[in-house]
Amino acid sequence: MTALKNDTFLRALLKQPVERTPVWMMRQAGRYLPEYRKVREEAGSFINLCTHPELACEVTLQPLRRFAFDAAILFSDILTIPDAMGLGLSFSEGEGPQFARPITSAADIHNLGIPDPETDLRYVIDAVRLIRRELNGSVPLIGFSGSPWTLATYMVEGGGSKSFRKVKALMYEQPALMHVLLEKLAESVAAYLNAQIAAGAQAVMVFDTWGGMLTTEDYREFSLAYASRVAALLQTEVNGQRIPTILFTKGGGLWLETMTEAGYDALGLDWQTDIGLARARVGDKVALQGNMDPVALYAKPDIIAEKVKTILEKYGAGSGHVFNLGHGILPDINPEHVGAMVEAVHRFSPAYHRP
């Protein structure tokens, strides 16, 4: 494989010295880009876009042609694993993901198999290989998966939810059965991420989108424990190179101290968490990623630059910070505002990394 020309992102995740704070953006390949919308229209559906490696590669690379991001992230969806388990994933315009065959019984859970990434999810692994080749060492490639808990919520609810009534009912009324489901998902997520790493992903991220919907006790038992199980199963060294790992729990700011024990190199922060206080709380145990409010990108470029400066100031001097949004970019953001954010990170962050 070609040597990396820009490894700032990887070094920051490992808390190694860097010349400036690296920056990338959740959902950086997405609907805010007109070139993405064009390819999405030509693909005919979001599913087609995800399942054709050439198209997934193209949209992964699009933001890097516009902006000086320090990492690319695989274009895919967090629900590929349950789809490979046979639940029948589809996307309805304006309604989000839906499963044709959600989990409704103990038998459904016991009958679930662990997908083989090289066969059942071959389109994702092929996309990783293709993207890695096309990047040609310019920046690292991030692989990802949904967390076991987050995948379980969609599988039991049949789609998105506001109350999480069904999955919480399973958790409260049949906790042993819930653990069976989560253990299968932890094994599946680890196998999936390991296959992405083997195919060329140079860092991996676990998106625990719905962990923040739980109580503190339930988060530890049903979400964090299985994210930790995934971390323990990951192959995080390839040819002598460390593969950094990131855990992002939306709404998880209350639990940062506990999250540092889960085995990840970095924790993602949503925008509701003060990054300076977060750094004081986690100490040197992990790096931090985040955490600008995505809505701030609607503001004028000079205001965006001030928001960037504030986050950098709050984190302070030294490595261990990857600049990002506190959640994914919204689809109607002006791309020029993204450019203003990236430029501001590049302009202001070197001052925090001088010897």
The catalytic residues are: 27, 31, 40, 77, 154
Three-state secondary structure call for residue 311: helix
DSSP conformational letter for 319: S
Three-state secondary structure call for residue 56: helix
Phi, psi of 12 (to 5 degrees): -65, -40
Pairing assessment for the beta strands 72-73 and 141-146 based on DSSP bridges: parallel
The amino acid at 76: S
Three-state secondary structure call for residue 41: helix
DSSP conformational letter for 352: G
Burial of 17 (0-12, 13-18, 19+ CB in 10 A): exposed
Q: Which residue has the tokens 């049903």?
A: 222
Residues 6+ apart with CB under 8 A from 42: none
Residue 240 sits at the vertex; the CA angle it makes with 233 and 13, to the nearest 5 degrees, is: 70
DSSP conformational letter for 274: -
